[in-house]
Amino acid sequence: MALFDLKEVQEIKNLEFLAKQVVEGFIVGMHKSPFHGFSVEFAEHRLYNPGESTKNIDWKVYARTDKLFTKRYDEETNLRCHLILDCSSSMYYPAKEKITNKFNFSVLAAAGLIELFRKQRDAAGLALFSDSVKVLTQAKSNSVHINRLYHEMENMLNDDTLQKPTQAADCLHSIAEQLHKRSLVIIFSDMMQHQNQDELFAALQHLKHNKHEVILFHVVDRKHEIDFEFDNRPYLFVDMETGAEVKLHANEVKAKYKSHMEAFEKALQLKCAQYKIDFVPADINKPFNQVLTPYLLKRTKMR
């Protein structure tokens, strides 16, 4: 599953179409992997039991498989999934016009998850936040609602607002107060903010306190943001949220920077383990199966 060029997103202007491509590529890959036989449609159909009404039989599936399956509908949905996307300025690193920035990666990954939700008849909700909660929807599974989720994310892809700060802790607290209990909450964020780390951890704990199952996809450009792999020359680094600038030679700070970032990532990982939150590193330079596979594994455990 190769990543898409942002030009494709802008020209097609159809996030749903790209999401289907992501999911189709993922399903093909699963059948070539140790997940062979692990179906992403386990919640969409069930075997037909003799004596039941035949009105819900999926005859197209019968034509392909010579087996009778009945379709499952919204009233059989037993899982609500809420997608929470950080849209602060730090998420547009390394550049707003590239699909390889963190927010565009998160949007396409989230869109792929929505396609899986649709296949599984699960209800989907969306929250977008930066310095405040910009969008917060209920979790529903009807097509009108799903189209709204795509529309909200497409709008944010085209948002030209600069220097949007992160208030992740405050926003996650606010979202936690409003979400339906016992949902699957999926967060896409680099978790970089100027607030105290303990406040950030408390916000994650708030979600668990409200009985949600939580997956945190820690979205980073690992080569640059964690490993600090820059050429051995001077750079001008600019804070994408405050506009602050600093000139320095990359090699002079590399060791200290790496140590700090690795410690932050480790602390976040340990806190997630303590709160029983699934911590999943998500490198924007790698394919989307690093997101879709952990979700499917989590959902299987929740059945």
Output the six-digit token pair for 89.
């300025």
- For the chain, what is the mean pLDDT? 83
Whether residue 158 sits in one domain with residue 64: no
Distance between CA atoms of residues 108 and 157, nearest Å: 10
Whether residue 153 sits in one domain with residue 178: yes
Q: Is position 267 within any domain?
A: yes
> Rounded to two decimals, what is the model's pTM?
0.80
Whether residue 149 sits in one domain with residue 71: no
Whether residue 95 sits in one domain with residue 65: no
Whether residue 216 sits in one domain with residue 245: yes
Whether residue 110 sits in one domain with residue 91: yes
136 has pLDDT over 50: yes
**DSSP tag of 140:** B
What is the domain-level CATH number for residue 242? 3.40.50
Whether residue 142 sits in one domain with residue 222: yes
Q: Is position 233 within any domain?
A: yes
What is the number of domains present in the chain? 2
**Helix, strand, or coil (residue 111):** helix
13 has pLDDT over 70: no
Whether residue 215 sits in one domain with residue 234: yes
61 has pLDDT over 50: yes
Distance between CA atoms of residues 222 and 100, nearest Å: 12
Whether residue 143 sits in one domain with residue 84: yes
Domain that holds residue 63: 44-76
Distance between CA atoms of residues 268 and 191, nearest Å: 9
Q: How many CB atoms within 10 Å of residue 106?
A: 27
Run of H or E including 176: helix 168-178
Give residue-wise pLDDT tens across range 141-185: 999 999 999 999 988 888 777 778 888 999 999 999 998 778 999
Q: Which of these ranges, 8-22, 85-99, 137-151, 215-229, has the smallest mean pLDDT?
A: 8-22
Whether residue 125 sits in one domain with residue 55: no
